[in-house]
Structure 1
């Protein structure tokens, strides 16, 4: 098995890093993520690592190739380096101190519309960039959205991401069940629209502080097309109609009727941010 084929100077040598805690920052798809100090720059980084075998190696290599294939974007986590050491694969990425969106919500409670609007705009800009590069993330959820000190969103964890060559040509069942789009759960070919469903669930959680489809389980898959969004008044009475309209359209069961990332950015609720 050949080594990972991406290096970036001093970020490709494990001896230049000090793992600061044995407790991981989180468990990403395909590996744990640890906080590390880069001795040469004295900067903190997040390092994703997994044991090397044929399957994990291929998954890691795919994730690296995807991150390399897209040009750098403010709303997508960047890759500083990747390497192997003692049958472990490593990916080096910037450390975002404020953590992910889910932990932020758990700590601070539901977002105001102003906060949610800024985060949603960043997610949509990042997704739009991915889709222009023919990349589908397939696991958009609060755990995979990092929030920096300026409340800017960065899309992370590309373990399920893949390239798409034709519309609705993907068939792999993947992602996280409570965030997965209806077309994935229904085992029909799908495409970029699954990422917009993930944005809709994420926005719903930011504003409502609960999961829109929390009670669904595998026995309900046959009834996927009957799903209706329940805007419980005690949580949503103070939320604007413009915000709820965007949520509802992103959570449209038919993928062909969901707005694209660029279309969603032109919705009145997000247009309001520019005024």
Structure 2
């Protein structure tokens, strides 16, 4: 069985052996992040062979009955939090799911936009590059056996993401997410994957990775997506150590545009971090990995406990109900990490329990280095207020001084020059991603029909 891992299109929502994974992550008493180890040095560092680890993601379903019992303020919930953490650890032996979203009836009318493929020129062929949005019928009739494998972009809990090409002279690139059916056995896991597909299918926005179509057979579920060959924002941040205000402002603004779109549709994202932000060929950011997303009806709240420890909002930790204002909190955490290279609440020298305790104390215990501008500090403090009702909306966030001079119209029209322009030689260029070996062993067949609507 493949060891659990993490990558940009995959979230380890249901790793094959979550208990062993968390035990491994806590052996050294510190978090293993992307860049700390590599496939070449993994054997020396004690990691799983060929894998890279990002922030440990704690996932657990919390019942509504337990959640409703928490009525006191955030500052008074430390003991409740500690009790809940004990329950989480106990339940990890039997629960490996982030909760099931059963009410996502996303019958949206989506607008069309040209995908990232139109930016590429294929040096191997003089044929013109195909524009995705101009060829819907061509994509609708595409078969799996018409896809040509190029390389692996990432490995996740249920499978991997492959770079594939198709079209005339294979001049069109896709990211093909493959999930092993024989490992998706829990009913909640199955519903969760169906829900992710529904949400991604409903989205058509230049700041969100596009899902074109899905396939299924007796071995895999497949999601054919926009490739975004510029790689992860996390990789750029790792190499540059930290971004200046101008760069951080551009990337944060891209996220706000994505969240504007999602929140208008009633979708809460709940997993913002640099690892889930991909660069397209123009250097613009696209949001990916919708494993924790959920659609909420107007006035509806969610009780699901999920996310990445360093980014999770305090109301989620204390089992209070939450809505899209949990995403507002994560925008502030992202700002801090982009400007400093590390998040304000880190597992580096502490356990997940301590990280959650620190989050419940809010920004009052966070160190803001002197190189951070006063306007950045002010906005981060406002976005990360303990009380969700006191956090500014996305529209108000735009009007803070840190965003003064930001050309939002230029961002939407993609006329702004991005801080970093990735080098992409063509549709077969995987140089902005880590190296992975080709999968040689096929999973066992599984003829269950739960995925008939996938």
If the length of structure 1 is used for normalisation, what is the TM-score? 0.86
2:148: which partner in 1? 18
Work out which of the residue numbers 231, 247, 263 in structure 1 matches 2:367.
231
- Distance verdict in 2 for CA 1:36–1:56, change over 3 Å: farther
Residues 129-184 of structure 1, C-alpha deviations (whole Å, 9 max, x = no match): 10000001111111111122433211111111110014361001111122111111
Higher alpha-carbon deviation: 9-18 or 220-229: 220-229
Does residue 154 (structure 1) correspond to residue 260 (structure 2)? The answer is: no
Q: Give the conservation status (yes or no) of the 8 Å contact 2:301–2:322.
A: yes
2:382: which partner in 1? 249
1:50: which partner in 2? 179
| Cα distance in structure 2, aligned partners of 1:55 and 1:17 | 31
| Cα distance in structure 2, aligned partners of 1:116 and 1:163 | 28
What are the within-5 Å matches in structure 2 for residues 157-172 of structure 1?
A: 157-167=289-299, 169-172=301-304
| Cα distance in structure 2, aligned partners of 1:247 and 1:198 | 10
Work out which of the residue numbers 180, 183, 207 in structure 1 matches 2:315.
183
Q: Give the conservation status (yes or no) of the 8 Å contact 2:180–2:220.
A: yes
Q: Give the conservation status (yes or no) of the 8 Å contact 1:167–1:190.
A: no
1:93: which partner in 2? 225
3-state DSSP of counterpart to 2:292:
coil
3-state DSSP of counterpart to 1:272:
coil
3-state DSSP of counterpart to 1:80:
strand
Name stretches of at least 5 consecutive residues in structure 1 with no aligned partner: 1-6
Q: Give the conservation status (yes or no) of the 8 Å contact 1:170–1:191.
A: yes
Higher alpha-carbon deviation: 182-191 or 265-274: 265-274
Residues 69-104 of structure 1, C-alpha deviations (whole Å, 9 max, x = no match): 23x211111111111123311111111122111112
| Cα distance in structure 2, aligned partners of 1:207 and 1:224 | 19
What are the within-5 Å matches in structure 2 for residues 57-206 of structure 1?
A: 57-70=190-203, 72-167=204-299, 169-206=301-338
| Cα distance in structure 1, aligned partners of 2:188 and 2:353 | 27
Q: CA deviation at 1:59?
A: 2.2
- Distance verdict in 2 for CA 1:18–1:56, change over 3 Å: farther
2:160: which partner in 1? 32
Q: Give the conservation status (yes or no) of the 8 Å contact 1:120–1:203.
A: yes
Question: Number of residues paired by the alignment?
Answer: 263
Name stretches of at least 5 consecutive residues in structure 2 with no aligned partner: 1-135, 409-454
Q: CA deviation at 1:56?
A: 4.2
Q: CA deviation at 1:274?
A: 3.2
Task: With a CA cutoff of 8 Å and minimum separation of 6, indicate the structure with the bigger relative contact order.
Answer: 2
Q: CA deviation at 1:111?
A: 1.2
CA RMSD of aligned residues (A): 2.4
1:273: which partner in 2? 406
Q: Give the conservation status (yes or no) of the 8 Å contact 2:310–2:355.
A: no
Work out which of the residue numbers 353, 357, 361 in structure 2 matches 1:218.
353
In terms of Rg, which structure is larger? 2
3-state DSSP of counterpart to 1:20:
strand
Higher helix share: 1
| Cα distance in structure 1, aligned partners of 2:271 and 2:226 | 20
| Cα distance in structure 1, aligned partners of 2:143 and 2:192 | 21
| Cα distance in structure 2, aligned partners of 1:26 and 1:267 | 39
- Distance verdict in 2 for CA 1:31–1:200, change over 3 Å: farther
| Cα distance in structure 2, aligned partners of 1:123 and 1:8 | 31
- Distance verdict in 2 for CA 1:181–1:170, change over 3 Å: same
- Distance verdict in 2 for CA 1:268–1:174, change over 3 Å: same
